[in-house]
Structure 1
Amino acid sequence: MSIQIEVTAASGRQQQLEAADGALLMEVLRDQSDGVEGICGGCAACGTCHVHIAPQWLERLPAMPAEEHNLLDALDVRNDQSRLSCQIRLDASLDGLSLIIVPAEC
């Protein structure tokens, strides 16, 4: 099953991406869009995969681990919709997910 993701880059460019069930969101964004670097490789250590998730999708995401929360607290543009895409594994419940890529701060 493929999962559709609606992505808005920091530049405002919109894309519709397709991902496999079980894929890591950061890897999909890094490989198919602009603006996600994922420098730490998904360890929740750099913040270069920071995204703002559309509010209607937040409750469907897995709980935020402490490491993610701590790193997001250190970023300037954190808001209530902030997540690290390296901490989100895609599944059918996230088909249609909508997000905005936040420019990397480092």
Structure 2
Amino acid sequence: MHGSIAPWLAWSGGFTAGTFDGGTRPSGAATLVFVAAADSTDPWFVRVDGYAGVGQSLAWDAPVIAEPGVPVRRSVTVFIADGILGTEGIETLIKTQGDNS
């Protein structure tokens, strides 16, 4: 179908946090780690133009058909970590915080 599908995707960056009174706090960095379900065969998509978005592409090369009584369901776990994580740090995060059952 798609060849090898990456089990996770990470997005890192710097930010300035807003406060409730409209001010800002010092800048920081964070990494978002998106982890697909173990049996997922959907490729990832990433959107950066207009608005940021990450997800699984359900209609990458063929539509996914929902039929009455047979819902289409997907799940993605998202970890939010302080700082910019590299591959080793991301994989450690997934192994130590993920649902390994």
Structure with a larger share of its residues in strand? 2
Structure with more helix by fraction:
1
Give the TM-score normalised by structure 2.
0.23
Please say which structure displays the higher CA radius of gyration.
2
Higher relative contact order (CA 8 A, sep 6+): 1
TM-score, with normalisation over the residues of structure 1?
Answer: 0.22
